[in-house]
Structure 1
Amino acid sequence: MTMGGMLLMIIGLAGVVFDWGQAGRVIAVIFMIIGMISVLVSMGIYFWAGMLSTSATVIDCPECGRRTKMLGKTDRCMFCKTILTIDPQYEPLGDNETAATQTAHFEPSREHEHKPH
């Protein structure tokens, strides 16, 4: 979205650069506004994803042993794709699961939480 918005703003400037008169200025304004809205929406999405990442639980994957972040009650290890869950009622769907995929139930550790000073 960011690149698309910037491209729209550049295309809109063609109306001013090639001197298309009053119509070129109107085209430039319209494309600039649409492009800016697209860039601002993209910035909002990146901000939201960044805020989600800061509140994610950091755990050690029981399968590969590497540190990974977990969003929500059920997620996958970002390295080995093992299903990680803290939901004891979780039942994996047979359609999307392979024989190599395992479900690891665990209790997240509290040692990595931020402690106020």
Structure 2
Amino acid sequence: MFGKSSKINEFRLWGLLFTLFGMGLMILGTAGIVFWGQAGKVFAAIFMVIGMIAMLASVGIYFWAGMLSTSAIILNCPECGRHTKMLGKTDRCMYCKTKLTLDPAQATDLDDEDKEEIEEVKRTQPQS
């Protein structure tokens, strides 16, 4: 993906990019009719179809992001205090971009007590 953003916002960004790309292609295709007259109709038809496919892809991406959003874990960001949604084991806050995790083994800023608990869990788990 692009970088420092939450996963849901990344999906929404891809949906927006496909929407803009599809609309741009359809506008470019319509410009073919204006500048090339009769010969531009084929150009316009091709670009309209490709633009529609891009628009349908954006609808699919937005639908997928919406479905992921309904099953996401909602938590309070420790940095900004706002409600944010988290997908997977690690994600970023939707507002302040702070790294979030529910897995203590992946957390970087731990107290001594938390580190001891992690070591104890590692010792009790069978080695594979």
Q: Which runs of 5+ in 2 are unaligned?
A: 1-17, 115-128
The alignment yields a C-alpha RMSD, in angstroms, of 2.6
Alignment equivalent of 1:49, drawn from 36, 54, 65: 65
Q: Percent identity?
A: 64
Are positions 1:36 and 2:64 aligned together?
A: no
Q: Partner of 1:97 in structure 2?
A: none
Structure with a larger share of its residues in helix? 2
- Runs of 4+ residues over 4 Å off in structure 1: 102-105
Work out whether residues 101 and 107 of structure 2, in 8 Å CA contact, stay in contact via their aligned partners in 1.
no
Cα distance, 1:12–1:81 mapped onto 2, change above 3 Å = closer
Stretch of structure 1 that moved more, 25-34 or 56-65:
56-65
Letter of the structure 2 residue corresponding to residue 42 of structure 1: S
Letter of the structure 2 residue corresponding to residue 58 of structure 1: I
Q: Which runs of 5+ in 1 are unaligned?
A: 93-101, 106-117
SS in 2 for 1:68: strand
Q: TM-score, normalised by structure 2?
A: 0.59
Q: TM-score, normalised by structure 1?
A: 0.64
Mapped to 2, the partners of 1:42 and 1:73 lie a distance apart of 26
